[in-house]
Structure 1
Amino acid sequence: MNESTLPNVAPDALDIPDAARLASGDATHPPRILILYGSLRPQSFSRKLALEVERLLQHFGAETRVFDPHDLPLLDSVGKDHPKVQELRTLSEWSEGQVWVSPERHGTLTAVFKNQIDWLPLEEGGVRPTQGRTLAVMQVCGGSQSFNVVNALRVLGRWMRMVTIPNQSSVPKAWQEFDEQGRMKPSPYYDRVVDVMEELLKFTLMVRGHSAYLTSRYSERKGDLAAQALASASAAAE
């Protein structure tokens, strides 16, 4: 690189994007998908949708986990060593993709759902339990169709450094869309759910194995090189 062209760039920290490095990965295990939902009600429609999503994902060949938010304490009311907190964090690290399903409450996502995300750190011990994972966002509505929750979830997904897929699902009047066995009835809304899960799996298959490369940042590499140089200089001075 001609350093005079970009005088403010550290050339050793620059990594020119390379299509060859994004060739198909060597992972052969089923895609690992974590599903989170946002209601504790016995007849929770977000839970019913989460379970419907799980059936579809398993049919597509994914390995799934559904986290039960019951007994997850409020953020900071207990230490991070609490069993439910550890369960959630372990599942997030295990996952290669996630599905977030929340009801709409007062025009936004529920406290039950937000509490789960708040317990997930951006980084802990050099591990980022959400960065680079794919994400599908979905909501259920008690009344007419709204997109308030999926929009809010997209903000959260970006903040958690996740690869949020373009498609999404919003199910209006959810109480009409499930039968007595808790299965989602045939409808255009169900078809959209299938669309979203297909897309999530496709993106997950593309991204997994490459997330470290995709989320590698020039600014962080530059900082690492500066820290290494400082450590070397300190060691030489001793």
Structure 2
Amino acid sequence: MSVRILALVGSLRAGSTNRQLAEAAVKHAPEGAEVVLFEGLGEIPFYNEDIDVEGSVPAAAAKLREAAQTSDAFLFFSPEYNGTIPAVLKNAIDWLSRPFGAGAFGGKPVAVVGTAYGQFGGVWAQDETRKSVGIAGGKVLEEVKLSIPGSLVRFAETHPADDAEVAAQLAEVVAQLHSTAGEVAAA
């Protein structure tokens, strides 16, 4: 079964190691899994029910919802900002959780991974992301975790796609999303 996995990156910085990690996931996705890196999270206005009106949803938010609706699973890449989830990821989750009861997550599998400069690799932010997306309706794969510490040092001269250990770990994360999405579709 072919599975489309939407990748959302919580860092907007051009040289983001989490973006590089997402690029590595795209490159090393196993056969049958297509990882699509969403572009444009920074263009989406903060969620506000006053602007989330059928027929006039901001174009950037509508683009995100459309990409999510056509996906079978989600892969979040979260850095850690002040010990928690980046605002851009939380905003994406808020937009995708609406309309209430009919959000885009709809029980689809979700995994959260990431890298951060600190010694724990952003685990607090990743845990907060799992919590938020689970409440928003995603089927969070709690056992699927990948937190890579020391990002600025580890990836200073090597892109994550060229780090054999990281590439293998990402391929395993994507394979688990692929497998779970197949199970969800068959149920």
TM-score interval w.r.t. the shorter chain?
0.7 to 0.9
SS where residue 105 of structure 2 aligns?
A: coil
Please say if 1:170 is aligned against 2:142. Answer: no
| Equivalent pairs, count | 180
RMSD (Å), alpha carbons: 2.3
Give the corresponding residue for 2:104. Answer: 129
C-alpha separation in 1, matches of 2:171 and 2:58: 35
Amino acid at match of 1:175: L
Q: Of the two structures, which has the highest relative contact order with CA contacts closer than 8 Å and spacing of 6 or more?
A: 2
Identical aligned pairs, as a percentage? 26
1:194 is displaced (CA, Å) by 2.6
Q: Of 86, 99, 105, which aligns to 2:81?
A: 105
Q: What does the per-residue CA deviation read over 1:152-200, in whole Å, with 9 as the maximum and x for residues that have no partner? A: 1221232022222221110111123336574434354443323212211
Contact 1:33 1:95 in 2 (8 A): yes
- What are the ranges of 5 or more consecutive residues in structure 2 without an aligned counterpart? none
SS where residue 103 of structure 1 aligns?
A: coil
1:94 is displaced (CA, Å) by 0.9
C-alpha separation in 2, matches of 1:85 and 1:182: 30
Q: Of 95, 113, 121, which aligns to 2:71?
A: 95
Contact 2:25 2:161 in 1 (8 A): no
Give the corresponding residue for 2:116. Answer: 141
Which has the larger Rg? 1
Please say if 1:62 is aligned against 2:33. Answer: yes
Moved more, 136-145 or 94-103: 136-145
C-alpha separation in 2, matches of 1:74 and 1:172: 29
Give the corresponding residue for 1:74. Answer: 46
Relative to structure 1, the CA distance from residue 49 to residue 77 in structure 2 (aligned partners, 3 Å threshold; closer, same or farther) is: farther
C-alpha separation in 2, matches of 1:179 and 1:53: 18
Q: What does the per-residue CA deviation read over 1:123-154, in whole Å, with 9 as the maximum and x for residues that have no partner? A: 45x73311110111112111212421221122
Give the corresponding residue for 1:45. Answer: 17
Amino acid at match of 2:130: R
Give the corresponding residue for 1:155. Answer: 131
C-alpha separation in 1, matches of 2:62 and 2:50: 12
Amino acid at match of 1:62: A
When normalised by structure 1's length, the TM-score is: 0.68
Q: What does the per-residue CA deviation read over 1:77-123, in whole Å, with 9 as the maximum and x for residues that have no partner? A: 98232111000111111111000111011111111211111111344
Tell me which protein shows more strand as a share of its residues. Answer: 2
Contact 1:134 1:200 in 2 (8 A): yes
Give the corresponding residue for 2:95. Answer: 119
Contact 1:177 1:184 in 2 (8 A): no
- What are the ranges of 5 or more consecutive residues in structure 1 without an aligned counterpart? 1-27, 211-238
